[in-house]
Structure 1
């Protein structure tokens, strides 16, 4: 890279801007653990605002005058176009703003983490990795049968020798240093994969945005645009990035691969000589979540093609589509340089006329006397039975019940949960399950109907008919 390239990155790259920002410690200390370490996808604005507000409250107790803005202001600044550390968008089917981390945040957070002093730096495992990769490249591209056969025989001889030693009771194991070296390499590669998925998703999203802009600006025939869009969709699948991602995704979806990964991770985390990272125990589930988000971005582009092919909607809404495309084209034209003042002037349909004689004359109203006193003999005794019969529904207990019965990353129907833990307070307790609001519990109501048997407060059997409710632990 020459001087101009580095200077251009310093001025335009969001990760470099983050390192130069005056509140970079706040951004990295909050967004890094929240999105990168916990591998979070897009979260609603209310959730992240609440978490950031608690974080700022703890900071104000030790350093009151350092960060004075509120949580919403910081989130708006971090998601602005001149920052680029958070992506602000509306997901499909939601009317609430969501925030998601950008690849620039991952790069900056990884660079800061790499600056910390390390007591142990492994080199042997990386050397073996380089040699293994070179061996795969050389022998994987070999077309000479004799050379390929010689390599396979060499591998078989090494395996036969190891089998013979094992049968004779000679077992060669790695020492503690070699084990820690390789575990450190595995942990670093696993975290880098999560960051790479975020960047791949961003690249696919850029292709999707390019296709949307092309549809908004297109003025030619429909067939030509369709051919160009299908070519763009094929470019995603046929590119090196697309083929590598699809091969990784197919391998990870294999049941045998998932079982092998789970068994190996469990075996590693049971070794007492390795200081394991708790995040690495379920890293393959994080890989699946990140890969699914990337696949969702590709499916979004395919959905745009499907909508474009709907001729019926195209003909019925031709005028509306022209107006929307005009608005989109104008918005794209002023995206880089938005107007300073935006105003709207509406001409009144006429001049209002008010005649004095049309107003009604003053009409005095008779005085109204209000007697709020109740005669002693007409007052009825208060019925306190309904008030005393009120029951308190402990939603914390219901949340603990869900966590006990539903393992993480799984789901169960509400009827199965109630069958395992019968309700104690009637229909109010069933409604309490629907009102659970926790980060690790999600409630989904489907269109299907189901019946849930329960006992009321008097012990009488009842049946409630309601929508099918699924309780999940994301």
Structure 2
């Protein structure tokens, strides 16, 4: 790309990108401070219109108590006018939508706000610029890519032997009392990179949701303008939905979400984070990092929920299309009936109107040769031997027919709470492993109704096998979508699950 094309691309980017327009706006300080505090710092993904107007009006009153350099009152417009302006399609700083089952509009910040705030953070002076940790990260990434794609077993074995030698050398140094401890500068350097990457991950979730919505919007446009057959349209729809999940972004998000749902990795991350934050050099840093993995889990769950909602909306959209086509077919049939009734009483040969009628092809007699017919085959008779059959003498207890199976939901809720007391997230398969099913399928369905004090999320793309032994001593296994429970505990700094 030459310089002229690059110049034209930047001009077009300045004209249409909402993040660039936000930085150039006269109310940019108001937008960035308010939306950054409400949606980014608190990691909030949905705020009702009435609540957001109230908080913005309170913030504007504090700003209006001060005057500008020219004596004029700053931000003279109302909170409602500012909110409508930020959520306008040509502005693109807020996304307005109606949550399922709600009659009041809600708002969420767009990726443009995240990008603008991220750029502003780079302008703020840093205590120091660390380069060592980033260099180590670059080298580790190159090593993972180089040897992760290597197909030669000898090359991989040589790399594993080299790493084993380095680990053995470290073990020998520790046993000899030679400890290589990170100094204060190295610790602060790595912690700064950790917090920066953690914030970028939270910002990426909004971009992932936006990309999923763009894919869904393109798919709807294809359905609305489709002029081919239904079978071809269904192939296109299923192909595009699989393409979303199998894309680079979809597979990367799946790997990240699987990490969040892994109890062992969660325990390891929580332990490492607690040990790092307990270091004297890091103890005075931001406290939000203590709950960053819970914020990740909440943001990832909202992204999964968005994808499920888009799939449900797409299914309803297709149902509406089919309903419209069926309605058109019924209208055509009704018109045929009306015309048929109008010409029913016309006399044959009348000149006032043409006589209705139609022509059919001449009937043909099918010819079948005798040799083509199958020969007669007599039916096979079965002989029944009724000798030795005697009347039953034993008596069965009919009380078993009236026994009912009662599932104690309180006991199931206690099992979920017991698992969540030890881990931040709990999968249904792990809970059943700790507390085997005693009442079979009825008890398994009872777990799905546990809602008090927990938030339940379903992942239909992941399937878990749940096994139990029935009353007849027969082992049974059910394939169920992955069910994950999380605690619903409000935190003072943002309301995310803890």
Q: Are positions 1:302 and 2:311 aligned together?
A: yes
The residue that corresponds to 2:39 in the other structure is: 35
Matches within 5 A, 1:329-344: none
Cα contact 2:220–2:314 (8 A) shared by 1: no
Q: How does 1:51-450 map to 2 (within 5 A)?
A: 51-63=55-67, 65-274=73-282, 275-307=284-316, 314-315=322-323, 318-319=326-327
- Say yes or no: does 1:24 pair with 2:28: yes
**Cα distance in 2 for residues equivalent to 1:215 and 1:79:** 27
C-alpha displacement of 1:224: 2.1
State the secondary structure of the residue aligned to 2:65: helix
Please say which of residues 38-47 and 268-277 is displaced more in the overlay. Answer: 268-277
In the TM superposition, what is the alpha-carbon distance from 1:320 to its structure 2 partner?
9.3
Query: How many Å apart are 1:471 and its aligned residue?
Result: 7.9
Contact 1:45 1:99 in 2 (8 A): yes
Distance verdict in 2 for CA 1:152–1:173, change over 3 Å: same
- Which deviates more from structure 2 when the two are superposed, residues 292-301 or residues 132-141? 292-301
The range that moved more, 23-32 or 294-303, is: 294-303
Q: Once the 2 structures are TM-superposed, how far is the Cα of residue 218 of structure 1 from its aligned partner? A: 3.2
- Report the Cα distance in structure 2 between the residues aligned to 1:99 and 1:173, rounded to whole angstroms: 48
Seen in structure 2, the aligned counterparts of structure 1 residues 133 and 322 have a Cα distance that, compared at 3 Å, is farther
Can you list the C-alpha shifts for 1:221-256, whole angstroms capped at 9, x where unaligned?
322222111111011011111111111111121001
Contact 2:205-2:299 within 8 A present in 1 as well: yes
Q: CA deviation at 1:196?
A: 1.2
Query: Which 5+ residue runs of structure 1 have no aligned equivalent?
Result: 324-405, 411-441, 445-469
Distance in 2 of aligned mates of 1:109 and 1:62: 25
Structure 1 position 100, deviation (Å): 0.4
Match of 1:282, SS? helix
Q: How far apart are the structure 1 equivalents of 2:74 and 2:151?
A: 65
Q: Alignment partner of 1:99: what SS?
A: strand
Distance 1:19 1:322, change over 3 A: farther
Query: Partners in 1 of 2:221 and 2:240 — Cα distance?
Result: 13
Q: Tell me by how many angstroms 1:209 deviates.
A: 1.7
CA distance in 2, matches of 1:132, 1:471: 37
Separation (CA, whole Å) in 2 of partners of 1:179 and 1:101: 33
Deviation at 1:302, TM superposition (A): 2.5
**5+ unaligned residues in a row in structure 2: which ranges?**
332-420, 426-452, 456-486
Higher relative contact order (CA 8 A, sep 6+): 2
Q: Contact conserved, 1:78 with 1:86, CA < 8 A, in 2?
A: yes
Query: How big is the alpha-carbon RMSD for the aligned residues of Structure 1 and Structure 2?
Result: 2.8
Q: Which has the larger radius of gyration?
A: 2
Q: Does 1:6 align with 2:14?
A: no
Offset at residue 57 of structure 1 (A): 1.1
Report the 3-state secondary structure (helix = DSSP H, G, I; strand = E; otherwise coil) of the residue aligned with 1:2.
helix
- Counterpart-to-counterpart distance in 1, 2:330 and 2:206: 35
Q: TM-score, normalised by structure 1?
A: 0.66
Q: Deviations over 1:344-380 (max 9, x none)?
A: xxxxxxxxxxxxxxxxxxxxxxxxxxxxxxxxxxxxx
Give, in angstroms, the shift of residue 305 of structure 1. 4.9
The answer on whether the counterparts of 1:208 and 1:300 sit within 8 Å (CA) in structure 2 is no
Deviation digits for residues 292-315 of structure 1 (CA, Å, limit 9, x no counterpart) = 12212221233245446769x945
Asked if structure 2 preserves the Cα contact closer than 8 Å seen for 1:204 and 1:294, the reply is: no
Q: Secondary structure at the match of 1:40?
A: coil
Deviation track 1:373-411 (CA, whole Å, cap 9, x = no partner) reads xxxxxxxxxxxxxxxxxxxxxxxxxxxxxxxxx9xx99x
CA contact (8 A) 2:14 2:20 kept: yes
